[in-house]
């Protein structure tokens, strides 16, 4: 881990940039005076005029200080209101990390000597944002030999050190798990297959001290069980599909705890299409370019289990991933074919590119065998959701009002954008087939995110269920913020982890 908390007086290290948070221009000005450099003061006043700096959220001043005391101070405005503007802190941290990286600094120091900011919450905010901001996907690049950026958080005294250290370790782990999900999603489908997802799950289970167990079903086991919808998608895939089932059981007093009061059973289902070509309903080339991202839901589920293996939770959790590629071949399912899903319902497959709902239908049915109190699925399910909410916002559809409120609140707390979409019963008619129980594409093209959610709903019947369509934010074509660069974002890891606690 490259993030440490230290006891260090403000501006006491010369050759690393310092980052100070301020709520007003006056506060920043006072800090500049502390530097005792006339030229820095002149430069600061110039920058204040040029940028209209007032210490507001999302304002920043980068001040070079050519004195022997400090080289550079970065002022991050977070606004003069009492409630903490968490997103302003995160984006400020992201910008500071970028500036340090671009200037080839080896170290960056966040100044929390101001007691208003020396809190556990602030430490966590800085740590997670900095961990996400530092992420680079370099697997396929020649090594550049630049040392990674070390981050220090300077505190006024040792009072916060014990609680602070724990908080920083966990906040770093949340960032690192999110970055693991990003690595999985960014890795091309050539190298990221259903088998690689199994490998990652295996490593997580092995390092869990017995709390996480893994079982994997292969093609013949899934066929035997009757997962006709999932197997229809896998039919054209040369690479073997793998159905992954992870279980986390809480430990108390060193013993696995199957059932204790207040303990719930939660099922997380992640869409795990390692590449979505569309199948015989082949996508146009442009639409295929980013389709290595179609296992982003699965990556998020794996990241959550990594965190469970490290830190635990009081609930029992199941993770389900029906992993496969969606490929054309002479073995592939054809438009017009009818298959029987695990719950016995028949589905007319009219478009093989609407494959996510088929794999999820069987995964959700399978999840119900373990009597979950709640099922949450995460899926890069529809382009229509991106049309509806744009690239940065995920759609939430749920049959449970309380769960909806909880998830929206968790997302907002961690800075992931989530918005409710309706499960309009009248539109469910559009998923009915004339020759089978359902069809996998609706009879009209409007409200495609809703009809996809409605397709899943009967499979989750009887259980409190939420569906997150993460097609927009899971893989960003341009940066989502200063701390989340373009490419995979690990969407959902932070929201689900926050919700679990």
Give min distance, CB of 405 to Zn ion, in A. 29
Q: For helices 120-134 and 161-186, what crossing angle results, to 10°?
A: 30
- Residue 362 found at the interface with Mn ion (CB under 5 A): no
- Partner in contact with 265, chosen from Mn ion, ligand BES, Zn ion, none, beta carbon below 5 to 8 Å by kind: none
Candidates 276, 325, 348, 469; binder of Zn ion (CB under 5 A) is 276
Give min distance, CB of 465 to Zn ion, in A. 20
CA separation, residue 191 to residues 128, 186, 325, 490 (Å): 28, 10, 12, 18
Give min distance, CB of 486 to ligand BES, in A. 14
Q: Which is nearer to Mn ion, 250 or 272 (CB)?
A: 272
- Residue 472 found at the interface with Zn ion (CB under 5 A): no
**CB 471 within 8 Å of CB 465:** no
- Partner in contact with 450, chosen from Mn ion, Zn ion, ligand BES, none, beta carbon below 5 to 8 Å by kind: none
- Partner in contact with 383, chosen from Mn ion, Zn ion, ligand BES, none, beta carbon below 5 to 8 Å by kind: ligand BES
Segment contacting Zn ion by CB under 5 A, of 6-14, 86-94, 199-207, 268-276: 268-276
Lookup: tokens for 378: 């995460």
Residues 304-338 as b or e (16 or more Cβ within 10 Å = b): bbbbbbbebbebbbbbbbbbbbbbbeeebbeeebb
Token look-up 């986390």 returns 248
Give min distance, CB of 449 to ligand BES, in A. 8
**CB 123 within 8 Å of CB 111:** no
- Residue 294 found at the interface with Zn ion (CB under 5 A): yes
Active site residue 357: yes
Q: How far is CA 456 from the centre of its chain?
A: 22
Give min distance, CB of 448 to ligand BES, in A. 6
**CB 196 within 8 Å of CB 240:** no
- Residue 469 found at the interface with Mn ion (CB under 5 A): no
Q: Which is nearer to ligand BES, 217 or 471 (CB)?
A: 471
Calpha distance 273→416 (Å, rounded): 23
Calpha distance 383→172 (Å, rounded): 32
Give min distance, CB of 360 to ligand BES, in A. 10
Give min distance, CB of 381 to Zn ion, in A. 7
- Partner in contact with 441, chosen from Zn ion, ligand BES, Mn ion, none, beta carbon below 5 to 8 Å by kind: ligand BES
Token look-up 């005792």 returns 36
Candidates 55, 79, 228, 356; binder of Zn ion (CB under 5 A) is 356
DSSP secondary structure letters along 129-179: HHHHHH----TTS----PPPPEEEEEESSGGGHHHHHHHHHHHHHHHHHHH
Please, which of residues 238-297 interact with Mn ion by CB under 5 A?
A: 276
Q: Which of 43, 98, 239, 283 is catalytic?
A: 283
DSSP secondary structure letters along 331-346: TSPPTTEEEE-TTS-E
Strand partners, 167: none
Q: Which is nearer to Zn ion, 251 or 283 (CB)?
A: 283
Backbone angles phi, psi at 67, to 5 degrees: -135, 170
- Partner in contact with 384, chosen from ligand BES, Zn ion, Mn ion, none, beta carbon below 5 to 8 Å by kind: ligand BES
Kind of pairing between the strands at 3-7 and 150-155: parallel
The residue with its CB nearest to Zn ion is: 276
What element of type H or E holds 216? strand 212-217
Segment contacting Zn ion by CB under 5 A, of 256-264, 350-358, 371-379, 439-447: 350-358
Binding site for ligand BES (CB under 6 A): 276, 294, 351, 353-356, 380-384, 386, 441, 448, 471
- Residue 353 found at the interface with Mn ion (CB under 5 A): yes
- Residue 87 found at the interface with Mn ion (CB under 5 A): no
Q: Which of 10, 219, 271, 357 is catalytic?
A: 357
Rg value, the chain, Cα: 25
Name the site residues for Mn ion (rule: CB under 5 A): 276, 353, 355
Please give the residue ranges that form the binding site for Zn ion (CB under 5 A).
273, 276, 294, 356
Catalytic residues: 283, 357
């Amino acid at each position: 881990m490259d993030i440490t908390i230290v006891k260090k007086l403000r501006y006491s290290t010369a050759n690393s940039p310092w980052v100070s948070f301020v709520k007003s221009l006056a506060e920043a000005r006072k800090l500049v005076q502390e530097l005792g450099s006339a030229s820095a003061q002149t430069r600061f006043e110039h920058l204040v005029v040029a940028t209209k700096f007032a210490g507001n959220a999302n304002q920043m001043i980068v001040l070079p200080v050519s004195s022997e005391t400090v080289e550079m101070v970065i002022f991050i405005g977070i606004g003069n209101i009492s409630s903490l503007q968490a997103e302003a802190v995160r984006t400020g941290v992201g910008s500071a990390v970028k500036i340090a990286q671009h200037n080839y600094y080896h170290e960056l120091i966040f100044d929390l000597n101001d007691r208003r900011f020396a809190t556990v919450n602030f430490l966590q905010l800085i740590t997670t944002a900095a961990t996400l901001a530092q992420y680079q996907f370099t697997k396929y690049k020649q090594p550049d030999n630049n040392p990674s950026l070390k981050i220090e958080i300077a505190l006024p005294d040792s009072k916060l050190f014990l609680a602070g250290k724990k908080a920083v370790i966990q906040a770093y782990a949340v960032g690192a798990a999110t970055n693991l999900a990003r690595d999985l999603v960014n890795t091309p489908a050539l190298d990221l297959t259903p088998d690689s997802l199994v490998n990652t799950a295996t490593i997580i289970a092995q390092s869990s001290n017995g709390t996480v167990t893994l079982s994997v079903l292969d093609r013949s086991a899934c066929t035997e069980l009757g997962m006709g919808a999932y197997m229809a998608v896998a039919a054209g895939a040369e690479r073997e599909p793998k159905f992954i089932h992870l279980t986390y059981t809480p430990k108390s007093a060193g013993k696995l705890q199957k059932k204790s009061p207040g303990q719930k059973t939660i099922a997380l289902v992640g869409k795990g299409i390692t590449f979505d070509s569309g199948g015989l309903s082949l996508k146009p080339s442009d639409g295929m370019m980013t389709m290595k991202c179609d296992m982003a839901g699965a990556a998020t589920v794996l990241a959550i289990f990594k965190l469970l293996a490290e830190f635990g939770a009081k609930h029992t959790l199941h993770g389900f991933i029906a992993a496969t590629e969606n490929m054309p071949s002479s073995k592939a399912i054809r438009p017009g074919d009818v298959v029987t899903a695990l719950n016995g319902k028949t589905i007319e497959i009219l478009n093989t590119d609407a494959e996510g709902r088929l794999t999820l239908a069987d995964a959700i049915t399978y999840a119900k065998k373990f009597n979950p109190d709640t099922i949450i699925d995460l899926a890069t399910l529809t382009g229509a959701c991106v049309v509806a909410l744009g690239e940065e916002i995920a759609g939430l559809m749920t049959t449970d009002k309380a769960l909806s409120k909880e998830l929206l609140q968790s997302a907002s707390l961690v800075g992931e954008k989530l918005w409710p979409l309706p499960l309009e019963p009248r539109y469910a008619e559009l998923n009915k087939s004339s020759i089978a129980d359902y069809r996998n594409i609706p009879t009209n093209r409007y409200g495609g995110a809703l009809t996809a959610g409605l397709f899943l709903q009967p499979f989750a019947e009887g259980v409190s269920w939420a569906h997150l369509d993460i097609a927009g934010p899971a893989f960003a074509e341009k940066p989502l913020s200063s701390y989340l660069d373009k490419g995979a974002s690990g969407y959902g890891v932070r929201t689900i982890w926050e919700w679990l606690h």
